[in-house]
Structure 1
Amino acid sequence: MTSKTKNILGWVLSGLAALLLAASATDKISGSSHALQIASLISLTGGTYRVLGIIELLSVILFLYPRTGILGTLLLSSYLGGAIATHLQHQQDVLFPAAFEAVIWIAAVIRFPELTRRIKSIGTPGTFL
């Protein structure tokens, strides 16, 4: 695969994930009836759910901006890990947040070669993250 193809694929995956996550964040921030219904199902107040939406949106912005992309990857990974834990706690399907997690990491590995190098060097004597 050429570097141009990798670059396009990385940005397409990033854009798709960011678009869906930004829509989710906007729904939470706006306090729509759908968002409030979901918040009540998982025992959260509307205000707390709005804060989660703001965190989600900021993480997406950091993920899309190339200089802060790795930080955004880690924040989105943490956010989605929390979503998976919440889904498990409330006996809901974890496929959706887990799929997002996978897409975020695939896009990050394609877009940020230094991240891949650091992951590969874990456990190698004499290397530091």
Structure 2
Amino acid sequence: MEKQTKSKTRKIAAWVIIGLVGALVIMSATMKLTHAEELVTNFTKWGLIDNLTFIGIGELIFIILFIIPRTSSLGFLLLTAHFGGAIATHLQHEESFIMPAIILTVIWIGNYLRNPEMLASFTKK
């Protein structure tokens, strides 16, 4: 019975984390799609202003894929690549990369809680 409780607790924690990340990424995508002033300034500085809408649409697609259990692996891979690119962009422009790194870490934690088998290859002998 204790194992079943741990499993249920893990699943609830996973959905809470995934829900919070989902809300954050949807908000970010919405800001990109509405061309929020702060984002326009940053994307212009980075030379990415022509891609702002495209990146916003990508974020929406990636998070939807991640939230849906059947497509979560693809969404996870796409979000990992996306936030890795965000970290690289911040590093290239000598800006703090802490926020995209935190979001990426939380995505990994949420995915691990939902799909612990994702790291199974590290435990195989």
TM above 0.5, one fold? Answer: yes
In 1, the alpha carbon distance for the partners of 2:8 and 2:73 equals: 20
2:38 pairs with one of 34, 41, 55: 34
In 1, the alpha carbon distance for the partners of 2:53 and 2:41 equals: 13
* Aligned Cα root-mean-square deviation (Å): 1.4
In 1, the alpha carbon distance for the partners of 2:106 and 2:116 equals: 16
In 1, the alpha carbon distance for the partners of 2:31 and 2:92 equals: 22
**Shift in Å at residue 54 of structure 1?**
0.6
Q: How many residues align?
A: 121
**Shift in Å at residue 114 of structure 1?**
2.9
Residues 1:104 and 2:107 aligned together = yes
Give runs of ≥4 in structure 1 deviating > 6 Å: none
2:67 pairs with one of 64, 68, 72: 64
In 1, the alpha carbon distance for the partners of 2:104 and 2:76 equals: 9
Identity of aligned residues (%): 40
**Equivalent residue for 1:127?**
none
In 2, the alpha carbon distance for the partners of 1:12 and 1:65 equals: 14
Please, which runs of 5 or more residues in structure 2 have no aligned partner? Answer: none
Taking a change above 3 Å as real, the CA distance of residues 27 and 119 of structure 1, as seen in their structure-2 partners, is farther
In 1, the alpha carbon distance for the partners of 2:31 and 2:96 equals: 20
Residues 1:18 and 2:11 aligned together = no
In 1, the alpha carbon distance for the partners of 2:19 and 2:122 equals: 23
In 1, the alpha carbon distance for the partners of 2:54 and 2:109 equals: 27
Taking a change above 3 Å as real, the CA distance of residues 109 and 119 of structure 1, as seen in their structure-2 partners, is farther
In 2, the alpha carbon distance for the partners of 1:56 and 1:44 equals: 15
Residues 1:50 and 2:57 aligned together = no
**Shift in Å at residue 33 of structure 1?**
2.1
